[in-house]
Amino acid sequence: MMSWFFFSLLLGLWARDGQAGGLMPPQKVNLDADNAAQQLSVTWEGSQATSFDMEILRTELMEIVLNETVFVKLNLSTGRYQRNWTSPVPLECTSLSVKVRSRDGQDVSEWSPQQILPGKDLPYKAEAQMYPEVKVVPVGSNMTFCCIVAEGQQFGSMWYSQTRLNETMLSRRTYAATVTNQSLSKPSGTNVFCSNEKTTIKTADAGAVVFVGYPPLPSDLVCETHDLVSVSCAWTEGRKTYLYGTQRKTNYTLNGRACSIEKGPMQCGLDQWEGFWTLVAYNPLGQVRLTDAAELDHRVRPLAPVNLSPRVVQALNAIVEWRWSIEGYKTLSLICQVHLTNLWNNSTKTYTGVGLNSVVLKDLEPDEDYSARVRCGVQKNFWKWGEWSSALAFKTKMDRPDAPDVWVWMNSDDFGRVLWKPLTKRQSHGQITGYEVTLWSPEENIQQTVTLPRTTHSLPINGTDRGSTVMVTARNPAGVSRPASVVVPGQIPDEKEIPVSRVAFNGSGFSLSWAAHANASCGYVWEWYRTGCALDCSVEWTRVAPDNTSAVVQSSDFMSGVRYTLSVYACSSEAPRLLERWHGYMQELAPSMSVPGLSLDQKGSDVQLTWEQIPLEQQRGFILGYNVYLTHTSHPTLYANITDPQLTNLTVSHLSPGSYKFTVKAYTTAGEDEGVTGFISLKPYTDWLILEILVSLGVMTCLLTLISSLCYRKRKWVKKAFYPEIPEPKLPGSWGITQGTLDVKPSPHSMVHIVENPEWESSKEALVTVPEEDEDEDGDEPLALRYYNHVVGEGSTSGRHPYAFDSSASSIGSMDSGRTDVTYTGIQTSASSPVPPQPDASGPGRRVGGGGYQPQMQSALYPAVAHTGPEEAPELGSFGGYQPQCSWKPDSSDAEDGGLDCMGSPTSVTSSQFLLPEDTSSPEGKENLSSATTWFHHFLTGKT
């Protein structure tokens, strides 16, 4: 209580000191509010101070809104001080209290009486309200809205469009929220809502609308005259304001006179030329001022000509005329432009003249539809072109057609076609009615003419037309075109003479280049068509100038995966000459079909794969080669990559028996085809084994033949090596033995008596003595051996002799010149009819009388039969040291059956003649044995 007392005392003393200082408080404080601008104007009077303290409070809550010291000068005209304050919150939101006091340094006066600016939240205004109700603000500005809830209601929320705002309480019923950096609003504005605790945004108690846009920003003010009297000004609107409506749109004035601009170009006119113009543009956010100045004759822009019409129209030219709506143009020097448009192109031509009102249009196309427009300007002090007139349409007359583009295409020496391109509308100069084709043979001087309909653009030719000149003309109602000619080639160059190269597609076409040719007097022609086409092919060609040696072949008809043949010909007065040829694809694709005709053949341990090439249409790219995959026990593996596309076989070597799967795939730069698969099961190599055996037998046969040939040529050496001469026997006494072959002719007095065995049949014939004079000395066989063979042959062939001769027996014969020992080996009877031996084998039938040839016989099979006479078993010494050849005895089981085979042969000591027994078992045995003996004998003796 005491503290309040001292505080009041000090306050009173301070007030007394202030009054003592002479500072008077402000008098007659007045408040004026501009609600639209949210500005409060405070005025007062009655003080000589230059600085004042001003304090503004919210009346209901007594919150200080402003407390500052301001410097204000006295307004001499009104005698009052004035201070303007802009409130961030609309002035209607709540009541404000204002008081002012004077200040002079540290001395202040008393506060002026408090003045209150009443707000809209007073109790007598019980309804809900929101401020500002309508507001136009620039883009990017900040703005505060306040909501006054209805009396007796509680505040709910505030919304800016679809965004909820954070509110601040200003009074018992007033709440405020601020929106920053506002963006462009819709043409109808942005809505702000306020609701209580029982309502929503759709049932808001109060609301406001804000329009966010830009101030006007026009530019480029230009004023000109069209009729040489009035003025028309135009400008550029510039940036749009995005503010719409009568109260918010941009308004314009020209030289202080309002311009009515609803839509369309920014233009405003005056009735008289003034030479200086000012344009003002404004809206609720601001205004802009533009100016322009010029003399009349420097700003003339003629109006568009009217009433255009064609006066005269021909096939190649026309006259167009028009009228002027302003009489003053007839004295002006004008420059005019005529813009022509047709189906193919458009062009602009310029004409000049005083009061120009007609022009002559030249170089037109016959039978062509044209559209013409005209605009003009003043030639002196040219300012701008006037507006274009309305379009005038006219059509030129027909004329005879242009010469067609003719070409000859030969796919063989015997077939081809003469081709010509259909004339375009621009080339035909009227409706084409038909074509005439003339073939002229210079050799035979024969001319043939064929008339074809307008839908036909080719004519077949054959080998008989080679070297002929073909002329083609086109016809329309206006006449016949000039003839176009081409010479049919005499022959087609071989591909070996003109090699075919490959060309790639570069995205826009096939780029071709070739060497210049001296005979290309009329340039070059390049053609293209689908490779593999035989008869009715779609052939395209284009001509280029003689100085051009490159071209890019383009066409909308090119397709992916199709091979094309492109050729370049030299054009001259003679037949076209092929210079170069290419194959190419617009885009290569993988082959559309698998490799055909795959076959697998086993060659021993190898497998040979063969296949055929893919047809051209299914290749769809350049075949670069083949991939061969092998599958045995695991996944497929790449066995071979064949990079030669012409090679269509492969041999897989050294495979073991089993099952194999081979897959062959052709590939291009785009990839492989789907592949064709073949299976094979390898079997053991029996064929090779048989082949090896046959080869071995063949080799052995060749070797034996070679050896036999060598032995025949070296037969003397063979005889000496394998059959040497048997040395002479050593004879007792001094016998004169002459060298050479021993002649074993029997002595004239020798006699051989063979007494018939008593046991033989009476029908048997006995041996008889052959007289010497009856001997045939000219025979090749010695007489003694022939005699021996005769005796033995009769005995063996008769089949009646019961004995076989013993190889150990020998006989002695006395001759005039000496003794000859003969050894018998293997002389036998027939094994087919054996006869048991007789008990008495030493009968008189075995004696040999005289000094003749006495064969000794004894069967080795029957050793019990003994020889009793000394003649029959002579001692070895009686032969002078020569042991007769014998002693072969059968040791096989065949001997027991009576079939005795003797391998030996009686041989003379000095003779090379073999005495071989004949097989008595069968005639075939005799023939074989006799032929073998004769051959070997002839072989060794050199006889043939």
Residue 423 · residue 404 · CB < 8 Å: yes
Q: Which of 687, 715, 689, 614 is CA-nearest to residue 944?
A: 715
pLDDT of 422-444, one tens digit each?
A: 998 889 999 999 999 999 888 77
**pLDDT value for 142:** 94
Q: Mean per-residue pLDDT for 286-303?
A: 93
pTM, whole model, 2 decimals? 0.50
- pLDDT, greater one: 796 or 253: 253
What pairs with residue 437 in β-bridges?
Answer: 450, 472
**pLDDT value for 747:** 53
187 by DSSP, 3-state: which?
A: coil
Question: Cα(852)–Cα(586) distance, rounded to whole angstroms?
Answer: 116
585 by DSSP, 3-state: which?
A: strand
CA dist list (Å): 665 to 588, 629, 670, 674:
16, 8, 13, 7
Q: Which of 437, 542, 516 is CA-nearest to residue 481?
A: 437
Residue 706 · residue 687 · CB < 8 Å: no
Q: Which of 595, 666, 593 is CA-nearest to residue 625?
A: 666
The answer on pLDDT for 323 being more than 90 is yes
Q: Which of 343-347, 716-720, 774-778 has the highest mean pLDDT?
A: 343-347
**pLDDT value for 740:** 52
CA dist list (Å): 74 to 23, 44, 68, 86, 534:
16, 10, 18, 21, 112
- pLDDT, greater one: 678 or 816: 678
Q: Which of 348, 307, 308, 305 is CA-nearest to residue 330?
A: 305
Placement of tokens 């074809």 in the chain: 452
- Could you count the other beta carbons within 10 Å of the beta carbon of residue 683? 10
Say which residues have a Cβ less than 8 Å from residue 616's Cβ, sequence separation at least 6.
531, 532, 563
Q: Mean per-residue pLDDT for 274-302?
A: 93
pLDDT of 606-630, one tens digit each?
A: 899 999 999 999 999 999 999 999 9
The answer on pLDDT for 797 being more than 90 is no
Strand 810-814 to 819-823 pairing: antiparallel
CATH architecture of 399-472: Sandwich (2.60)
Half-sphere exposure of 874 (CA within 13 A, CB side): 21
- Amino acid in the structure at residue 76: L
User: At 916, phi and psi to the nearest 5?
Assistant: -105, 140
The answer on pLDDT for 203 being more than 90 is no
Question: Cα(716)–Cα(941) distance, rounded to whole angstroms?
Answer: 9
Q: Which of 174, 189, 191 is CA-nearest to residue 128?
A: 174
pLDDT band for position 654 (cuts 50, 70, 90): confident
What pairs with residue 372 in β-bridges?
Answer: 340, 392
- Spelled out in words, what is the top-level CATH class assigned to the domain 129-213? mainly beta
**pLDDT value for 773:** 42
Q: Which of 517, 559, 521 is CA-nearest to residue 538?
A: 559
Q: Which of 326-340, 740-754, 796-810 has the highest mean pLDDT?
A: 326-340
What pairs with residue 526 in β-bridges?
Answer: 542, 568
Q: Mean per-residue pLDDT for 530-535?
A: 82
Q: Mean per-residue pLDDT for 645-654?
A: 92
Average pLDDT, the chain: 78
Residue 510 · residue 568 · CB < 8 Å: no
Question: Cα(109)–Cα(83) distance, rounded to whole angstroms?
Answer: 18
pLDDT band for position 148 (cuts 50, 70, 90): very high
**pLDDT value for 88:** 92
Q: Mean per-residue pLDDT for 663-673?
A: 94
pLDDT band for position 302 (cuts 50, 70, 90): very high
Q: Which of 197, 118, 128, 189 is CA-nearest to residue 160?
A: 189
Residue 401 · residue 474 · CB < 8 Å: yes
pLDDT band for position 534 (cuts 50, 70, 90): confident
- Domain 219-298 in CATH 2.60.40.10: yes
| DSSP H stretches of helix in 408-557 | 425-428
- Could you give the angle at which helices 686-713 and 715-722 cross, rounded to 10 degrees? 90
Question: Cα(693)–Cα(695) distance, rounded to whole angstroms?
Answer: 5
Token representation of residue 305 = 């000509």
Question: Cα(921)–Cα(832) distance, rounded to whole angstroms?
Answer: 6
pLDDT of 703-752, one tens digit each?
A: 999 988 888 888 888 778 777 777 766 666 555 555 555 555 555 554 45
Domain 306-395 maps to which CATH number in 1.10.3330.10, 2.60.40.10, 3.40.50.720, 3.40.190.10? Answer: 2.60.40.10
pLDDT of 47-68, one tens digit each?
A: 778 889 999 999 999 999 999 9
pLDDT band for position 196 (cuts 50, 70, 90): confident
pLDDT of 920-942, one tens digit each?
A: 444 444 444 445 556 555 655 55
pLDDT band for position 496 (cuts 50, 70, 90): low
Placement of tokens 């697998």 in the chain: 600
- 3-class secondary structure for 796-824? HHHCCCCCCCCCCCEEEEECCCCEEEEEC
Residue 64 · residue 82 · CB < 8 Å: no
Token representation of residue 608 = 């040979």
**pLDDT value for 935:** 56
637 by DSSP, 3-state: which?
A: strand
- Domain 18-117 in CATH 2.60.40.10: yes
Residue 272 · residue 231 · CB < 8 Å: yes
Q: Worst-scoring range by mean pLDDT, 129-143, 265-279, 292-306, 768-782?
A: 768-782
Helix (H) or strand (E) holding 932: helix 923-941
420 by DSSP, 3-state: which?
A: strand
Q: Worst-scoring range by mean pLDDT, 119-128, 384-393, 458-467, 522-531?
A: 458-467
The answer on pLDDT for 756 being more than 80 is no
Placement of tokens 């000394």 in the chain: 870
- Amino acid in the structure at residue 778: D
Q: Mean per-residue pLDDT for 804-819?
A: 37
Placement of tokens 């067609």 in the chain: 404
Question: Cα(567)–Cα(885) distance, rounded to whole angstroms?
Answer: 101
Residue 210 · residue 190 · CB < 8 Å: yes
pLDDT of 94-116, one tens digit each?
A: 999 999 999 988 889 999 999 99
Which regions of 643-701 does DSSP assign to beta strands (E)? 649-652, 658-668, 671-672, 676-682
Question: Cα(863)–Cα(775) distance, rounded to whole angstroms?
Answer: 38
Q: Which of 51, 29, 53, 52 is CA-nearest to residue 42?
A: 29
Question: Cα(440)–Cα(442) distance, rounded to whole angstroms?
Answer: 6
**pLDDT value for 685:** 66
6 by DSSP, 3-state: which?
A: helix
Q: Which of 586, 567, 558, 582 is CA-nearest to residue 503?
A: 582
Strand 658-668 to 625-631 pairing: antiparallel
DSSP 27-76: EEEEEEEETTTTEEEEEEES---SEEEEEEEETTTTEEEEEEEEE---BT
Q: Which of 217, 238, 219, 237 is CA-nearest to residue 287?
A: 217
* Burial environment of residue 825 by CB neighbours within 10 A (0 to 12, 13 to 18, 19 or more): buried
Fold exhibited by the domain 599-684: Immunoglobulin-like (2.60.40)
- Cα 562 to its chain centre, rounded Å, is 11
The answer on pLDDT for 368 being more than 70 is yes
The answer on pLDDT for 897 being more than 60 is no
Q: Which of 492, 448, 454 is CA-nearest to residue 471?
A: 448
Question: Cα(605)–Cα(688) distance, rounded to whole angstroms?
Answer: 9
Angle made by CA atoms 349, 311, 348, in degrees to the nearest 5: 10
Question: Cα(594)–Cα(589) distance, rounded to whole angstroms?
Answer: 13
The answer on pLDDT for 786 being more than 70 is no
